């Protein structure tokens, strides 16, 4: 089947600008921009930088083997176990080895990580980590504190120009090389299309949570960057693997506020409305079982109408001090976690799939790089180990900067930052009318539990919605949804975040990553739909 790639093809300019274009103002994009200094960088962000990014909402912290007795090897081993057979060992070894250096970079940028009484970095424990290795900020404030420090550093760095409110719609591809982007200002409602060219383009647009009805992610995280890369011909990987967080707070909010896994680490337990501790018969580790197992346990209770509730009443002594973010969410919803249980539901939380990159963040297209949640480096396999995502973002964005810097000659001119367009107003981008239908079908058939018949129905619906798109930005989003559906139907087994009721076991022949381009996905759709 023919490719639907619609990337804008332009005549090659006489002389291409040396600047690096970074799409996305979350942790990966900003860290890459800082690490590229003093080379000229333009960051394009749909919202004011640091906002509209999942990184700012991270409650846990960064996994790093910096505590007493911990080792890089143990971190590697825990990640491989969580990833359920398909973690790329070379990638995770590099990532775990560089964790300490990147934590020290973040300290230099002003991130106030918690310290113990002797002044060493304090580390805490999380499910599926065999050692205490999560570096945090004031309990559950890590994401916010990291982003505040990075935004302040970016604003002070003369080599970084920021264009806020710029929504990138497409990549410019010339003779197979990515040479620029097409963007609209005013949060995507601007009349004029801006064409920006650069020596290299870095995609750092985050994940896909908003393809689902219940998600912990900001609205901006709906897979647009991944779909754009796919349409331009980039290779994707592991698109079937979506991680559902077991305990989003079930109060009908969109996005759903998160009740961090650390609460269960502290001893909080899960109950249904009949008072049964339903995780006990499901797994020897009960509430501390792997995230996908707990998510399925909660999903079953919610689906059966019994509901699921997190009981923190005896486990957490001073909720407001220990978990200020969750406490704030509960207060807003009128829940007192000291005397009441918190209603919870699984929510789309993290995407293990995305743009395939090598160990230095290079995609399969010349001139095009990617970092953060929009990538699939192979570090997470089929199921991400908690708190490895912020680590992956800083490690690989730094590697991109290091590799690229060696290839870029001049530094940024002194007045480079003067070209910035900044705003404190967070205008949410207008959402396509078919987004509601897309989120419904993704949740109904490509969520916590999947089966062949349901996924085929979902793919038919996605193809129908794609035909009705009439919008480049929605083409990007729906392309990602289509690739998730195709790869999920194609993988006839259950592994990590991908659970099929019609193939509930792992199968040896599927112990491998999925690598695919959009053209290859299109070619197998007719067979997949026949079943």
The dihedral through the CA atoms of 47, 49, 54, 57 has a sign that is negative
Distance, CA of 147 to CA of 110 (rounded, Å): 10
Candidates 13-21, 152-160, 228-236, 386-394; binding stretch for ligand SIN (CB under 6 A): 386-394
**Pick 43 or 262: Cβ nearer ligand SIN:** 262
Under the binding rule (CB under 6 A), the answer on residue 60 touching ligand SIN is yes
Distance CA 33, CA 44 (A): 11
Token pair listed for 332:
């807003």
Among 170, 174, 185, 261, binds ligand SIN (CB under 6 A): 261
Among 42, 59, 197, 397, binds ligand SIN (CB under 6 A): 59
What is the C-alpha to C-alpha distance for residues 217 and 301, in angstroms, rounded to an integer?
23
- Nearer to ligand SIN (CB atom), residue 82 or residue 201: 82
Stretch in the footprint of ligand SIN (CB under 6 A) among 15-23, 105-113, 381-389, 450-458: 381-389
Site size for ligand SIN, by CB under 6 A? 9
For residues 223 and 474, what is the distance between their CA atoms, to the nearest angstrom?
10
The only residue of 80, 295, 386, 448 in contact with ligand SIN, by rule CB under 6 A: 386
Name the DSSP class of 341. Answer: P
Q: Are 298 and 244 in contact (CB under 8 A)?
A: no
Taking CB under 6 A as the binding criterion, the range among 49-57, 257-265, 365-373, 438-446 that sits at the site for ligand SIN is 257-265
The least distance separating ligand SIN from the CB of residue 141, rounded to whole angstroms, comes to 11
Confirm if 380 and 394 have CB atoms less than 8 A apart.
no
Taking a C-beta distance cutoff of 8 angstroms, is the pair 472, 432 a contact? no
Residue 117 burial by CB count (10 A; 0-12/13-18/19+): exposed, middle or buried?
exposed
Catalytic site residue 77?
no
Bridge partners (DSSP) listed for residue 164? 45
Query: Minimum CB separation from ligand SIN for residue 102, in Å?
Result: 16
Q: Which of 205, 260, 269, 476 binds ligand SIN (CB under 6 A)?
A: 260
CA dihedral 146, 151, 153, 159 (to 10 degrees): 140
Question: What single DSSP character describes residue 343?
Answer: E
Closer CB to ligand SIN, 205 or 387, in the complex: 387
Nearest C-alpha neighbor of 491 from the set 444, 443, 524: 524
Q: What are phi and psi of 195, to 5 degrees?
A: -110, 120
Reduced to 3 states, what is the DSSP secondary structure of residue 86? coil
Nearer to ligand SIN, 126 or 213 (CB): 126
Determine the interface stretch with ligand SIN among 114-122, 168-176, 256-264, 469-477 (rule: CB under 6 A): 256-264
Which residue has tokens 């009960």? 286
CB of 386 to ligand SIN, least distance (A): 4
Query: d(Cα 15, Cα 332) in Å, to the nearest integer?
Result: 54
Q: How far is the CB of 387 from ligand SIN (least distance, A)?
A: 4
Q: How far is the CB of 127 from ligand SIN (least distance, A)?
A: 9
Q: Is the dihedral of CA 361, 367, 368, 371 positive or negative?
A: positive
Q: How far is the CB of 262 from ligand SIN (least distance, A)?
A: 6
Task: Identify residues 115-154 at the interface with ligand SIN (CB under 6 A).
Answer: none
When asked if residue 389 is in the footprint of ligand SIN (CB under 6 A), the reply is: yes
Catalytic residue among 102, 291, 399, 439: 291
CB 215, min distance to ligand SIN, A:
13
Give the residue numbers marked as catalytic: 291
Q: Which residues bind ligand SIN (CB under 6 A)?
A: 59-60, 260-262, 350, 386-387, 389
């Amino acid at each position: 089947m023919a490719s639907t790639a619609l990337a804008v093809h332009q005549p090659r300019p006489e002389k291409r600008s040396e600047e690096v274009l970074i799409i996305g103002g979350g942790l990966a994009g900003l860290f890459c921009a800082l690490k590229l200094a003093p080379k000229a960088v333009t960051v394009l962000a749909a919202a004011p930088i640091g906002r509209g990014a999942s990184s700012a909402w991270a409650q846990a912290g960064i996994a790093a083997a910096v505590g007493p007795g911990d080792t890089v090897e143990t971190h590697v081993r825990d990640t491989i176990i969580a990833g359920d057979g398909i973690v790329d060992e070379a990638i995770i070894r590099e990532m775990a080895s560089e964790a300490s250096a990147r934590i020290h970079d973040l300290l230099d940028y002003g991130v106030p990580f918690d310290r113990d009484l002797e002044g060493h970095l304090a580390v805490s424990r999380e499910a599926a980590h065999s050692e205490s290795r999560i570096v945090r900020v004031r309990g559950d404030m890590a994401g916010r504190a990291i982003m505040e420090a990075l935004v302040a550093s970016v604003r002070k760095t003369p080599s970084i120009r920021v264009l806020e409110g710029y929504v990138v719609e497409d990549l410019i591809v010339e003779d197979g090389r990515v040479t620029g982007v097409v963007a609209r200002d005013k949060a995507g409602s601007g009349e004029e299309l801006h064409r920006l060219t650069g020596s290299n383009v870095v995609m750092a647009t985050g994940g896909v949570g908003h393809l689902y009805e219940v998600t912990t992610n900001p609205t901006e995280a709906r897979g647009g960057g991944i779909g754009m890369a796919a349409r331009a011909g980039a290779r994707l990987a592991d698109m079937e693997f979506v991680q559902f967080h077991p305990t989003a707070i079930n109060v009908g909010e969109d996005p759903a506020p998160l009740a961090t896994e650390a609460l269960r680490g502290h001893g909080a337990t899960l109950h249904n409305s009949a008072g049964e501790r339903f995780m006990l018969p499901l797994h020897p580790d009960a509430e501390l079982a792997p995230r996908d197992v707990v998510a399925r346990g909660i999903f079953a209770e919610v689906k059966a109408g019994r509901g699921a509730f997190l009981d923190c009443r005896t486990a957490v002594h001073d909720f407001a001090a220990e978990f200020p973010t969750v406490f704030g969410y509960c207060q807003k919803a009128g829940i007192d976690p000291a005397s009441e249980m918190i209603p919870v539901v699984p929510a789309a939380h993290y995407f293990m799939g995305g743009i395939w990159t090598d160990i230095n963040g290079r995609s399969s297209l010349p001139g095009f790089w990617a970092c953060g949640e929009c990538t699939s480096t192979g570090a997470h396999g089929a199921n991400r180990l908690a708190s490895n995502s912020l680590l992956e973002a800083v490690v690989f964005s730094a590697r991109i900067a290091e590799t690229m810097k060696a290839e870029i000659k001049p530094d940024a001119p002194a007045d480079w930052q003067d070209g910035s367009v900044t705003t404190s107003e967070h205008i949410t981008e207008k959402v396509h009318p078919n987004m509601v239908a897309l989120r419904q079908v993704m949740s109904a058939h490509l969520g916590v539990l999947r089966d062949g018949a349901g996924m085929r129905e979902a793919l038919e619906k996605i193809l129908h919605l794609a035909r009705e798109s009439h919008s480049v930005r929605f083409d990007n989003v729906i392309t990602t949804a289509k690739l998730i559906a195709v790869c999920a139907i194609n993988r006839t087994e259950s592994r990590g975040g991908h659970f099929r009721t019609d193939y509930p076991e792992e199968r040896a022949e599927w112990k491998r990553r999925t690598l695919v381009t959009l053209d290859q996905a299109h070619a197998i759709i007719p067979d997949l739909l026949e079943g």
